[in-house]
Amino acid sequence: MTGHGDPIKMTAHKSGPLRGTAEVPGDKSISHRALIFGALCVGETKITGLLEGEDVLDTAKAMRAFGAEVTRHGPGAWSVHGVGVGGFAEPEQVIDCGNSGTGVRLIMGCMATSPITATFTGDASLRKRPMGRITDPIALFGAQSYGRAGGRLPMTVVGAHDPVPVRYTPPMASAQVKSAVLLAGLNAPGQTVVIEKIPTRDHTERMLRGFGADVSVEQTDEGQVITLQGQPELVAQEVAVPRDPSSAAFPVCAALIVPGSDILVPGVSQNPTRNGLFTTLRDMGADIEFLNEREEGGEPVADLRVRYSELHGIDVPASRASAQIDEYPVLSVVAACATGVTRMPGVHELRVKESDRIDAMARGLEACGVRIEEDEDTLIVHGMGPGGVPGGAICASHLDHRIAMSFLVLGMAAQNPVSVDDGSPIATSFPIFEDLLARLGATIRREI
Ligand code: S3P
């Protein structure tokens, strides 16, 4: 969908203790991939726990447009009858990926080695985001792309008729870029190789293997070398999507900064390429227990018990950036409520997310009375200690779900209410956010 309808102003008020169980939705990265990989199989892939946020629903629509049969059977229960590797049909209409960078970039990769043409667009946020990071590598396979200035959407991709395999080192740490190249490599003969200097989330490698592809990963002096054997026959699977650690981050951080809180967040993925935030929070003094550690749907998961904690600022290692890249907005809120300074280096990729997240958090936190320093690659938050953030501001969400949710979490612990000008993007990744926080005891009001 393009745009999110009318803006919805939301305000979070200072909260009493948060208590209870927070069942957060399915993982967004895995949900997109389950639909896409299902579409690349012959046979029926059955999915449970799918995130039914707008981003993923847009990917479901896109897979239908490329010829797959995608059916919803009940809450989170979906099936996909795929068309096989190289079997994508040419869509009749423009593919609208809404707010989703993951959706559009992975799908561009998938179709880039099929002899079809597709045009992609998205909402005002997605139309600002760089697509050159995808069009550069897919050109090596033989695909052509025609977009707006600066490699922006809308963009038409003409898939390669005779794709060649590729050896590619992404210039930035990006799971979307790695995944787009591997997905393009599926329909190229021979071996496609991606060399990652900094490892990023590994759902594509894990899931492709689960669907029957031959994917190997080797640590070398060059970095992590991922090798895919092209033209496999992918085999339909049953996929149980674990709960999203990036969504769990919001109730977890809220409980840590609202005095007296004690909550349980069950079944959260603890994939080591995704769980950096929990390590960082513990380094800051957070009381988080990992209970009932187990494996679900091929991913390590745990139940998190989180209690209010008096936190202190730290120097967050830059090497942890990719394992918590989506969590910096809410981490900066926690840092504002901690005692002392928190330095977050190595975060330049935040500038090209759904919004420029360094700028969005810096301006909103300043409006709430917090002292911030920033440069191109670093965010520094001067913590005001428990109960010390004045709040009382309206913060701009810039069509970015995680910015909106982060400021609402701040409002639960600040002295005065904190508003966001538009909370509607929350529906892209966490449609039950308001209900879930309300059940824990938080007060978030919509203002008409
Ligand atoms: C994602 C990769 C990350 C992340 C995004 C989801 C994925 O983006 O921020 O929310 O599912 O591959 P980058 O690849 O741009 O780092």
pLDDT in tens, 12-60: 999 999 999 999 999 999 999 999 999 999 999 999 999 999 999 999 9
Ligand 1 centroid from CA 201, angstroms: 8
> What pLDDT, in 10s, does the model give residues 356-367?
999 999 999 999
Ligand 1 centroid from CA 375, angstroms: 22
Interhelix angle 401-413/245-257, rounded to 10 degrees, is 20
Q: Count of alpha carbons within 13 Å of 358, Cβ hemisphere only?
A: 18
Ligand 1 first shell, C-beta below 6 A: 29, 102, 174-176, 179, 201, 325-326, 349
Termini Cα distance of the chain:
23
Contact 315, 341 (CB under 8 A): no
> What pLDDT, in 10s, does the model give residues 411-431?
999 999 999 999 999 999 999
- What pTM was estimated for this model as a whole? 0.98
The pair of three-digit structure tokens given for residue 76, joined into one six-digit string: 């989170």
| pLDDT, mean of residues 301-307 | 98
| pLDDT, mean of residues 260-276 | 97
96, 326, 400, 422: which one is catalytic? 326
Q: Tell whether 29 is in a known binding site.
A: yes
- CB-count exposure of residue 125 (10 Å: 0-12, 13-18, 19+): buried
- At 392, give phi and psi (nearest 5°): 75, 30
The pair of three-digit structure tokens given for residue 329, joined into one six-digit string: 């907005």
Q: Is residue 264 over pLDDT 70?
A: yes
Check whether the bond before 317 is cis (ω within 30° of 0): no
Percent of the chain clearing pLDDT 70 (strictly above): 99
Q: Tell whether 305 is in a known binding site.
A: no
Ligand 1 centroid from CA 234, angstroms: 24
Contact 275, 301 (CB under 8 A): no
Of ligand 1's atoms, which has the minimum distance to the CA of residue 246?
A: 10
Q: Is residue 2 over pLDDT 60?
A: no
Contact 70, 145 (CB under 8 A): no
Instruction: Provide the sign of the torsion angle of the four alpha carbons 262, 265, 270, 276, taken in this order.
Output: negative
> Whose Cα sits closest to atom 10 in ligand 1?
326
Give the C-alpha separation, 18 to 185, whole Å. Answer: 47
How high does pLDDT run on average in the chain?
A: 97
Ligand 1 centroid from CA 198, angstroms: 14
> What pLDDT, in 10s, does the model give residues 115-148?
999 999 999 999 999 999 999 999 999 999 999 9
- At 368, give phi and psi (nearest 5°): -90, 5
Alpha-helix residue ranges (DSSP H) falling in 226-289: 245-257, 276-283
Give the C-alpha separation, 107 to 110, whole Å. Answer: 5
| pLDDT in the model for residue 1 | 40
400 is catalytic: no
Give the C-alpha separation, 355 to 125, whole Å. Answer: 7
Q: Is residue 348 over pLDDT 90?
A: yes
Q: What DSSP designation does 325 have?
A: G
| pLDDT in the model for residue 102 | 98
Q: Tell whether 101 is in a known binding site.
A: yes
Max CA separation in the chain (angstroms): 62
pLDDT band, residue 4 (cuts 50/70/90): low
Give the C-alpha separation, 1 to 23, whole Å. Answer: 27
> Whose Cα sits closest to atom 15 in ligand 1?
174
Which single residue is written with the structure tokens 């590619």? 168
Residue of 29, 102, 330 best suited for mutating to test ligand 1, as the one with most atoms within 8 Å of CB: 102
Written as one letter, the residue type at 317 is P
Q: Tell whether 353 is in a known binding site.
A: yes
Instruction: Provide the sign of the torsion angle of the four alpha carbons 346, 398, 327, 447, taken in this order.
Output: positive
User: Which secondary structure element, helix H or strand E, spans residue 363, and what is its range?
Assistant: helix 357-367
Ligand 1 centroid from CA 15, angstroms: 32
Check whether the bond before 154 is cis (ω within 30° of 0): yes
Q: Is residue 344 over pLDDT 70?
A: yes
